[in-house]
């Protein structure tokens, strides 16, 4: 396009001046009015056809705007959910570690408890053996005491052996029972 174009000169020379009169010599204004009327009717018909669709387009635009807002909200919620999911994953792994640690501790305590039960059973057997040994020792001491009393009675039949005993003590030159609790 030429930058020096003179639009007002062009309009005056072609549409308003003497050339315009020549071009408009056969001009019928009624024809122009009919054409204008027909164009307006055509435009009104098109508008009548297009207007409901424009309403639908407006509704679609409103729905799209609402959906864009919903999409933004859902995006923010997605970010929040992903954060919560990551936090839950971290918490889950911590709980899992804690449970594994508690399980390991329980297993250790179970082993220790089994050792304690084994020791108690062994201790019980040892205690039973000790009680049996003490009983045998008491019986042995009693048998020895009875044998010594019989031997003394053979050597000195008139001697009072009731004062003698394996558990008796000599105090101040006399044979006495031991004090209680000794």
54-69 pLDDT per residue, tens: 788 888 899 999 999 9
- Asked if pLDDT for residue 180 goes beyond 90, the answer is no
- Asked if pLDDT for residue 2 goes beyond 60, the answer is no
- Asked if pLDDT for residue 15 goes beyond 70, the answer is no
Q: What is the pTM of this model?
A: 0.34
Rounded mean pLDDT of 84-97?
Answer: 92
Contacts of 153 (CB under 8 A, 6+ apart): 159, 161
Structure tokens at 133: 């040994």
Q: Which long-range contacts (CB under 8 A, 24 or more apart) does 107-115 make?
A: none
Rounded mean pLDDT of 145-168?
Answer: 80
How high does pLDDT run on average in the chain?
A: 82
The predicted structure's pLDDT at residue 30: 79
Dihedral Cα 104, 108, 114, 120, nearest 10 deg:
-150
- Per-residue pLDDT band at 85 (split at 50, 70, 90): very high
Strand partners, 170: 175
């Amino acid at each position: 396009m030429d930058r020096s174009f003179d639009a007002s000169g062009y309009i005056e020379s072609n549409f308003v001046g003497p050339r315009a009169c020549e071009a408009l010599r056969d001009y019928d204004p009624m024809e122009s009015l009919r054409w204008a009327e027909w164009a307006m009717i055509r435009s009104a018909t098109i508008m009548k056809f297009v207007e409901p669709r424009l309403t639908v387009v407006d509704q679609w635009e409103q729905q799209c705007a609402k959906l864009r807002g919903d999409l933004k909200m859902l995006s923010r919620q997605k970010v929040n959910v992903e954060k919560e999911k990551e936090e839950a994953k971290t918490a889950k792994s911590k709980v899992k570690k804690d449970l594994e640690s508690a399980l390991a501790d329980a297993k250790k305590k179970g082993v220790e408890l089994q050792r304690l039960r084994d020791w108690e059973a062994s201790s019980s057997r040892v205690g039973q053996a000790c009680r049996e040994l003490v009983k045998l020792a008491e019986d042995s001491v009693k048998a020895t005491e009875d044998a010594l009393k019989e031997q003394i009675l053979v050597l000195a039949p008139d001697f009072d052996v009731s004062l003698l005993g394996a558990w008796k003590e000599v105090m101040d030159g006399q044979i006495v029972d031991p004090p209680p609790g000794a």
